[in-house]
Structures are given as structure tokens and as C-alpha cells.
């Protein structure tokens, strides 16, 4: 199991606590320190079962200033996320061939069942 974690995010810290209380072994991926590659993002998006645009934090200033209202392809969005990891929705918990966005935190519990 992996958690894509941002230590400054309250929801991400909550997700970490859920995993710890369940005594589950997991790997923490600090995606802000080590940017995800395009291929890693494509794999994660496939496991999430969403379109790339649904992984974007659209309220971030980077998005509003540079990309909002532009017609972007999925590949362009994936590149933007790779270049600007702050735009990636969080937290993400990955288990085998599935992944979820841990908002709300109940999503994590559902994944574990």
C-alpha cells in the first residue's frame, strides 16, 4: 500500500492516521519532494478510474493563473501535474490495482474493506 502524502495538508495527515490506526504497512510517497513522472501519473490515474482533469486541484493559484479555461488534452494535463505537483489532489491511497482520493477520509476505509 502507498499513500501519496503532503505533510502540510490536514486531510493527508488524517489519511496517514487512519492507516496507522489500522496497523497497515504502507509506503509514504512525498510527491512534492519527488515529482511523479508522466508514466507514474498515468498509472495512478488508471487505478483511480478518473480523467486526468479530476486529479487537478482547481482552486490552486497556479491553476487559476495559468491553465483555467484553457482547452487541454489529457496528456497536457498529466504533464502539468508532473511539472506542478502542488496541483495534484490529495491524499491518494493506492492498494494493488486500485487507488482512491482520500477526500472524504471514509474513502480510505472503503478501499480497505
Buried b (16+ CB within 10 A) or exposed e, 53-67: eebbeeebeebeeeb
**Alpha-carbon distance 33 to 101, whole Å?**
19
Residue 102 burial class via C-beta count within 10 angstroms: exposed 0-12, middle 13-18, buried 19 and up: buried
User: CA 98, CA 72: separation in Å to the nearest integer?
Assistant: 26
Check if 90 is active-site.
no
Residue tagged active-site, from 1, 9, 72, 111: 9
Catalytic residues: 9
Amino acid at each position: 500500500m502507498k499513500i501519496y502524502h503532503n505533510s502540510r495538508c490536514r486531510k493527508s495527515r488524517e489519511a496517514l492516521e487512519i492507516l496507522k490506526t489500522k496497523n497497515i504497512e504502507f509506503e509514504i510517497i512525498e510527491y512534492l519532494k519527488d515529482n511523479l513522472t508522466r508514466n507514474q501519473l498515468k498509472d495512478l490515474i488508471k487505478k483511480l478510474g478518473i480523467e486526468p482533469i479530476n486529479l487537478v486541484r482547481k482552486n490552486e493559484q497556479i491553476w487559476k493563473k495559468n491553465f483555467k479555461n484553457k482547452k487541454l488534452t489529457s496528456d497536457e494535463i498529466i504533464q502539468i501535474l508532473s511539472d506542478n505537483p502542488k496541483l495534484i489532489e490529495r491524499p491518494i491511497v493506492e492498494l494493488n490495482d486500485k487507488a482512491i482520493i482520500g477526500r472524504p477520509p471514509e474513502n480510505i476505509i472503503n478501499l480497505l474493506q
